[in-house]
Amino acid sequence: MPTCALAALRLSYQSMKLGFLIAFLGTALSLFGAPINIGSPRVEHSIDPVGVSTNPRFSWHLVSEENGKRQLAYEIIAASQKDLLDEEKADLWKSGKVKSSNRQLIEWGGKKLKNDQLVFWKVRVTDESQKTGDWSETSQFKVGAQRKLGLPQRTSGFESNSQRLNEIYQDSILLLQPRIEAFSKGNHQALGNGASLQRTAREFLYHFDATSHLTQWIKMMDLTRTKEGFFPVQPHAPHYGSVSSDAAITTHLPLWWMGGDDDFVKQRWEVFESYFIAREQNDPTFKGLKWGQFPEEELSPQFLDLTSMGYTSRIIRELAGPAQQPLNVIRFKDYSARIRESFQRQYLNEKKALIKPSQTAQLLALRCGVLPENKAGQKIPEYQNTIIENLMASLHKDGPQVGSMGAYFLLQVLPLIGDQDHLVKMILSLNDEQLKVFIGAGISEWMMSQLVGIDAGAPGFKLVQIAPRIPNIDSLQWVKGHYDSPSGRVSVNWEQTKEGHLDFEVTIPPGVLSRIQLPCKKEQEVTESGKIISEVAGIELTGKSDTHVNLVTQSGRYRFQIR
């Protein structure tokens, strides 16, 4: 995920670079290839939804077996009856051919819709060689004031040579699926309290077609907000507490990053502001005050409240980009600075270490944006390094001594500090009781984003990031995984040999570029299907260090070998 506070400017810069890359990599494909077709047409993130607004938005992904295919234009038609759904008779909307590569969240442009109206629609696209594909299968939606959620579809797969990891993945699905299905059927508490959902939001989004469900959860949290702006611990609950209340803000980040819905974030900015103003008024010195219900952790409510405030302030700064509020970043930078100063006074000693030595405390300090920073906005190394050293010493001595919150941050921190090997060994050695803490605390998100290596490189997977952290251990030789992203299916299959070689296969959906980082020693070379990279159309070598190689590719299937 992006960490720059001025996310709007960075996203604009990324979009500009993406345009250059598309132009640079755009090679002439065969004129005899098949046109692109449509997969998974959706309205407001869902297939055939019921209860959408009178201004719905349309999305789809592209289907093609050829490398480098992309959309140059689209055409949508919509009708009040199925038998009117053709180019001549469509009575609600005929968009005509619209020159655009966009295929996510395209706004309704037809006649004004009415409540309870049933609408039938389909779409087709024209590719880069000016060939127009077939119309999609007929889809439908119903306008209504009350959204009715359907049962979510599965969107991921994982397999490895480790039976233990395979079991962890399946156990995670078995825990999460009943919760989201119960929520779909009207049990508004089924997703758990805010603290729990904050840990599992990305898991739900990786494994299920869950964007509409999490959006609905946030809207339900709005219904019982206090007049000051605080959220309940979960929808319709009479209780309040800062960690779960903060989750009604922080959950927006994975929802936006994986789903790509800028408009929802724009609409929520006033909520973000009013909530944090209420936080400040409740605790003007940002000392960390206990209020409401707290998760059952070994840490004091005051420590949890302050670190949660730091985390929430950091998330809001990142959401300022899609909310188009770059100037308001200054306000939240000030909030963050005051939180860091308070944290340093209360919880850091003269030796640059935490006075609370638990593993969970160290993990929260490292991940929640509460450590002192220098003028460049970077964590001061001596504080960060001391806490990392103490954390690793404790893990090596005692193993993981964490609850669900600590487990969630442990799965994030160790890959970030470059200790994926230790994390994999630790997880494979957990007994059943210890593993219960990690199931439902982000472990299958870690498997998808860190082991398989699939993540968004831009919101909504308009750019795909492939960066598996492949551990150098004998017990894990290969991993396969896929994710049905908003842009289509992304799949990865890697296998490492005892000689240190790597075979890596990746599939990127049509119309999408990928940014790939693979482990590669200084003396090793990377090839694709036996050819050197410079001879392969649609791939650009963008950098090589002593430890990694960086590539950018067009869409399609690629088979890399590192020898």
Contact 489, 162 (CB under 8 A): no
Q: Please state, in angstroms and rounded to a whole number, the distance separating the CA atoms of residues 548 and 563.
A: 13
- Structure confidence at residue 55 (pLDDT): 96
What does 249-284 look like in DSSP terms, one character per residue?
Answer: HHTHHHHHHHH--HHHHHHHHHHHHHHHHHHHHHST
Three-class SS string for 392-438?
A: HHHHHHHCCCCCHHHHHHHHHHHHHCCCHHHHHHHHHHCCHHHHHHH
| Residue 357 confidence (pLDDT) | 84
Mean pLDDT value across residues 182-203: 95
Identify each DSSP E strand in 415-534 by its residue range.
454-458, 463-466, 478-485, 488-496, 502-508, 513-519, 526-528, 531-532
- pLDDT for position 273: 94
The enclosing H or E element of 386 equals helix 381-398
What is the distance, to the nearest Å, from the Cα of residue 438 to the centroid of all Cα atoms in its chain?
19
Give residue 15's pLDDT: 46
Identify the pLDDT of residue 375: 81
Q: What band does 498 get if pLDDT is binned at 50, 70 and 90?
A: confident
Between residues 1 and 92, which one has the greater pLDDT?
92
pLDDT of residue 296: 63
- Residue 187: DSSP 8-state: -
Helix residue ranges per DSSP H, 108-241: 163-184, 194-207, 211-223
Q: Are 506 and 514 in contact (CB under 8 A)?
A: yes
> What does DSSP assign to residue 113?
P
Q: Could you identify the residue written with the tokens 């290596």?
A: 453
Question: What SS3 state is found at 212?
Answer: helix
Q: Shortest CA distance to 541 belongs to which of 532, 34, 133?
A: 532
Nearest to 156 by CA among 410, 406, 519, 451: 451
**pLDDT value for 33:** 66
Asked whether residue 16 carries a pLDDT value surpassing 70, the answer given is no
**Domains of the chain with CATH codes:** 33-143 (2.60.40.10), 156-452 (1.50.10.10), 456-562 (2.60.420.10)
User: Which range (287-291, 296-300, 326-330, 337-341) has the least confidence?
Assistant: 296-300
Residue 239 has pLDDT above 80, yes or no: yes
Tell me the C-alpha to C-alpha distance, in Å, between residue 114 and each of 106, 122, 144, 316: 19, 19, 8, 35
pLDDT band at residue 499 under the 50/70/90 scheme: confident
Distance in angstroms (rounded) separating the CA atoms of residues 178 and 174: 7
Tell me the whole-structure pTM to 2 decimals: 0.91
pLDDT, position 140: 98
Q: For residues 199-222, b (16+ Cβ closer than 10 Å) or e, as one string? A: bbbbbbbbbbbbbbbbbbbbebbe
Beta strands 139-143; 50-52: pairing state: parallel
Q: Which residue has the tokens 């132009």?
A: 23
| Site of tokens 């209504």 | 144
Structure tokens at 204: 């739900």
- pLDDT at residue 21, rounded to an integer: 52
Q: Is the pLDDT of residue 535 over 50?
A: yes
Please give the mean pLDDT across all residues of the chain: 92
- What is the pLDDT averaged over residues 443-458? 98
Residue 7 pLDDT > 60: no
Mean pLDDT on 239-245: 88
Tens-digit pLDDT profile for residues 98-115: 999 999 999 999 999 999
As a whole number of angstroms, the distance between CA 276 and CA 202 comes to 23
Question: Is it the case that residue 449 has pLDDT exceeding 80?
Answer: yes
* pLDDT at residue 228 in the model: 87
End-to-end CA distance of the chain: 30
> b/e per residue, 442-463, with b = 16+ CB within 10 A?
bbbbbbbbbbbbbbbbbbbbbb
Select the more confidently predicted residue: 449 or 29.
449
CB 561 within 8 A of CB 536: no
Task: Decide if 437 contacts 403 (C-beta within 8 A).
Answer: yes
Each residue of 21-78: pLDDT tens digit?
544 444 433 445 688 999 999 999 999 999 999 999 999 999 999 999 999 999 999 9
Asked if pLDDT for residue 269 goes beyond 60, the answer is yes
Question: What percent of the chain is modeled with pLDDT above 90?
Answer: 85
**In angstroms, rounded to a whole number, what is the distance separating the alpha carbons of residues 279 and 367?**
20
Instruction: State which amino acid sits at residue 188.
Output: H
- Confidence (pLDDT) at 379: 86
In which element (H, E) is residue 73 found? Answer: strand 71-79
Q: Measured between alpha carbons, how far is 449 from 447 in angstroms, rounded to an integer?
A: 6
Q: What is the pLDDT of residue 25?
A: 47
Q: What is the mean pLDDT of residues 354-375?
A: 93
Percent of the chain at pLDDT exceeding 70 = 93
> How much is the pLDDT for 126?
97
Burial, 296: exposed, middle or buried (Cβ in 10 Å; 0-12, 13-18, 19+)? Answer: exposed
With CA atoms as reference, report the closest residue to 365 among 335, 320, 316, 410.
410
- For residue 420, name the pLDDT band (cuts at 50, 70, 90): very high
Q: What is the pLDDT of residue 290?
A: 77
- Give the pLDDT band of residue 215 (cuts 50, 70, 90): very high
Measured in degrees and rounded to the nearest 5, phi and psi for residue 314 equal -65, -40
pLDDT for position 294: 66
